[in-house]
Amino acid sequence: MTTPPMAPADTALLSEPGEAQVPAGEEDRRPWWRTALSRTVPIVGALAGIAVVWYAVSYLVLPPNQRFLLPPPHEVYGEMFGNARLMGPMTAALGRTFGVTVFGLVIAVVVGIAYAVVMSQWRYAERVLYPYAVILQTIPILALVPLIGIWLGYGFPARVVVCVIIAVFPMIANTLFGLQSATAAAHDLLTLNKATRWQRLWKLQFPAAVPSIFTGLRNAAGLAVIGAIVGDYFFQQGAVGIGGLLRVYTERLQLDALLIAVSLTALFGVLVFTVFAVLDRAIVGRWYGHVGR
């Protein structure tokens, strides 16, 4: 048998990796104002479209004696800046609703994550606990609201509870999904390295769940706004929230004020959602080391 060729006895063990590396965050760079413009134009366009339809309905569809049903935009929003007697209470109410939203969201996040963690640790716990989360989600909130009022009164705590009930489910569902998203091989890796339950949770399951938790947070934030408004729509005791004002304006047939309040709540919802969407992108992007997705 002849001696087969041997590699030179090199001490420098391995060659340079010969594979191309994907450069991080290397996208085509446009000037910032072009980016800003391309983002704003569709939004402004859509708003203009709404204004056109609105004017058309006010002036072309409604006869003058029924125009109070939908006053034209400039009359409605003119009130917004001119009428301090209207806007003072409205901004104060919005502030209170904001308080309920934040408080409810924080509780929903903490409770939702904790609930999901408990379910992820014991199969039995998931079987016992998950149905309740689903039931909470499927019972119409309107059926629960009177009960909550009777039990907890009609003030701040009851509003927060309504907010939590509406917002908690996406937190639970998304966190649980994330905690269970680690691959079987990754679990094997930890098993082979004799990881404790606690290490498995903190070094594998929880980090794997971070992107899903942010998805849950984004959805929960939107729902928390709705929950807070529904809460103060029904519970009118004490200082009134924006939902409470919606009801008052409806009862008094103050359509211009009503439209302003609706616009404000919409703006508020969009704002909260945007904050969490931006947070989501920033943090989850960094989580995976900045790769263009």
Site residues (vs another protein, CB under 8 A)? 1-2, 4-7, 9, 13-22, 24, 183, 185-186, 188-195, 199, 203-204, 207-208, 210, 287-291
Residue nearer to another protein on the CB measure, 123 or 194 = 194
Q: How far apart are the first and last CA of the chain?
A: 56
Contact 90, 242 (CB under 8 A): yes
Smallest distance from another protein to CB 7, Å:
4
State in angstroms the smallest separation of the CB of 136 from another protein: 31
User: Based on CB atoms, which residue is closest to another protein, 22 or 147?
Assistant: 22
- The pair phi, psi for residue 147, each rounded to 5°, is -60, -45
- Unique residue bearing structure tokens 């949770």: 201
Least distance CB 170 / another protein (angstroms)? 22
Nearer Cβ to another protein, position 2 or 138?
2
Instruction: Please give the Cα distance from 13 to 116 (Å, whole number).
Output: 47
Taking the C-alpha atoms of residue 56 and residue 62, their distance in angstroms, rounded to an integer, is 9
Q: How far is the CB of 14 from another protein (least distance, A)?
A: 4
Q: Which residues contact 268 (CB under 8 A, 6 or more apart)?
A: 94, 97, 98, 225, 242
What's the closest the beta carbon of residue 186 comes to another protein, in angstroms?
6
**Nearer Cβ to another protein (252/290):** 290
Q: Which two tokens stand for residue 57?
A: 């309905």
Q: Is 59 or 287 the residue whose CB approaches another protein more closely?
A: 287
Query: With contact defined as beta carbons under 8 Å apart, do 84 and 208 qualify?
Result: no
CB 13 to another protein: min, Å: 6
**Residue number with CB closer to another protein (16 or 28):** 16
- Residue in 243, 116, 105, 121 with CA at minimum distance from that of residue 164: 105
Cα–Cα distance for residue pair 166/49, rounded to 1 Å:
32
- Say how far apart CA 97 and CA 235 lie, in whole Å: 12
